[in-house]
Amino acid sequence: MSEHSGTRVDSAQGPMHTGSGNIYFTAGPDLRESDRPSFRSIADDQLARLRRFLVAPDGMGEARSRLADTGTVILDGTPGSGRTSAARVLLREYHQDAGVLHELLPGEEGELSLKHPDLVGSGDRLLLDLSAADTARWAAAQADLPTLRKAVHDQHAHLVVIMLHDSALDPDLQHFRVEIKRPPERDVLRRHLRMHGVPREHYIPYIQSDPTVENFLHERRTMREVADFADLVRRAREAAPPGDGFTQWCATARKAQADRRKNVAALVARLRESPQRALLITVAMLHGAHADIIHRATQLLLRTAGSPSDNLPLLQHKDLAERLAEISADTGPDGHVRFTELDYDTAVRAHIWDHLPDLRQHLGTWSARSVDLNDPHLTRELRDTLVAQLAGQYLRTGHGAGLASLAETWSSTATGRARLEAAVQALTCGLNDPVHGRSFRERIYQWCVNKQPRDEFAQVLIRVCADVIAVSHPDQAMLRLYHLARRERGTSRAREALWDLVGTSHRLRRRLLARLARPGRTSAELDIFLRVCDPDPLTAPYDNARTLVEESGVQDSLTACWRAVLSELQRATWQPYVEHWLHTATVTGHRGDILLDLLVAAAAQCDNRRGAAFAALYASARHAERTPPAGPARATATTDRLLQKISAAQGLGPPTTSPQAEPARGTEQ
């Protein structure tokens, strides 16, 4: 066999070209350059905040003990008792480096069945929320729970199930059931007030006897309703004049919960002029924004809706203070504009959306143009708030499809990063909505599979998959990123996001390898494989010293993919990756033999290119000796072992053996 020169790439930090064809560079807004914190970080912060706010319900200690002893707990409880928050806090307490938090949604695209052996990874934290399931789905889940529980036990994982209340539970599962009972509402109110920074001396003496609190708690309240009331009290305190106390804050908060539809309708009826209504809408959508932003956005809304200017001389215009007074708003000492009544903006938004339907399309266009405004007072948080307010109206009225289409339109017309961020925020609102989340995940799946999204829209999809869906549904995120990556042209953003995601979990890497091993792989999929087959995580021990490369199912996937690589790609493309395998084989003991066996087995299946594949592997090994990780002697020994295995595969030497593979975990569905 003769040596052949090749290409070696170490620690590439930018675009590289290792084969034939064109290389593309794309200029334009790049969401990866954003200073926005990742949604995974936000999700972790939200879980930590939830734990601080949670008043442990009756049964929390027993649930914690049951989860620690068995790895599984089934929570029962009435709706509104705090069982969902308790479930998430229980799982957060088992946060560790290994495994991921994963909400199980059997039946959705990209989700495995509850009995699939690849559903559970080592150290995973699993939430199965069946509190809103129908009886058929609850019965099916119960039938699968024994198999799921065994996988959870074998993988040292933890599973929390929220069962359908007032439903029968199989006798074999009764041991895992713990009833969650609602904590005292006043304790929940105290905790939330304290966590909101309200000094204890401001509410402790009054919370037992305040008439407003008594009236509010007289009816049986859910934990969410108590939390919302506490937040309104916090906001009332912040807006109250000096001298007001807890009683006044609670009265203001309670008033904010009243039905204001008639009041808002009467106000809108009095505001007959376009500038008045435009100002009302702008303050409602950008509540708390600086007066400069309110003024500019109001003018922008008038232009967007096609309202003509009044043509009055500038000095004859009403000043902003007078105009704000007409809509019951004013400017505070900080220069920011708010309605004079607490939470009045919520009522205005609902009225405008419900009773001026022809304005909805213009509001979408106006919101996109508003986030593009260049103003130091227009912060990232304010842009997000504007989009969230608009998204809230779409979702409240059941128009999730309209919100999704709007996000797609914004991405297609984006001229800068701000509008792309707005599209991400709109889709995030839909994905996080408890009613519409599933339909948004399905729509994003269809976009990823069936469309060839232009660069800007592709960036938005990549972002929501990697940073939003992946937070609690990593399998669905991986599937969507995979479809984006295999159809990607001109960039590698989707592939990089996919590689980053599978790097968080051995289970995800196993699933992706199984999918890549399917027949009919494209060159793009082979490119994905070359990065996913990094031998370092494949040989890294996990869960009592097991490794992926020792699993028979993973070995089958690796062999199939390497055979396609050796048969279909130029040596210059794959040689750097083979050399990395060879270097790893030099320093990983018996697992190094497995790596060599897999390469040889793949070459042996190359049919009419079998001899050329063997020769190319040997030449790559000789080339790899130039940069040995553990000295030239060990590198030469690795080349000799590879040659022995090649000779044995060709029937020219004694057979070689390597450690027996572990049984397969399952096949990709």
Taking 50 as the pLDDT cut, the residues of the chain under it are 1-27, 669
Average pLDDT of the chain to the nearest whole number: 88
- CA–CA gap between residue 428 and residue 669 (Å, rounded): 28
What is the reported pLDDT for 543? 67
What is the reported pLDDT for 485? 94
- CA–CA gap between residue 55 and residue 230 (Å, rounded): 14
563-594 core/surface letters (b: 16 or more CB in 10 A; e: else): bbbbbebebebbbbbbbbbbbbbbebeebbbb
The highest-level CATH class for domain 56-179 is alpha beta
Q: Residue 420's Cα: distance from chain center in Å?
A: 17
What is the reported pLDDT for 8? 34
What is the reported pLDDT for 430? 97
Quickly count: other Cβ atoms within 10 Å of residue 204's Cβ.
14
The residue extents of the domains of the chain are 56-179, 185-256, 261-378, 522-669
| Record: fold of 522-669 | 1.25.40
Residues sharing a CB contact under 8 Å with residue 477, sequence separation 6 or more, in sequence order: 465, 466, 469, 470, 501
What is the reported pLDDT for 493? 92
What is the reported pLDDT for 96? 67
What is the reported pLDDT for 544? 63
Instruction: Count the alpha carbons within 13 Å of 44 in the hemisphere toward its beta carbon.
Output: 9
Report whether 301 contacts 282 (CB < 8 A). Answer: yes
Closest CA to 469 of 427, 419, 528, 502: 427
- pTM value is 0.88
Look up residue 408 and give its amino acid. Answer: E
Closest CA to 352 of 295, 268, 257: 268
What is the reported pLDDT for 654? 67
Report whether 86 contacts 54 (CB < 8 A). Answer: yes
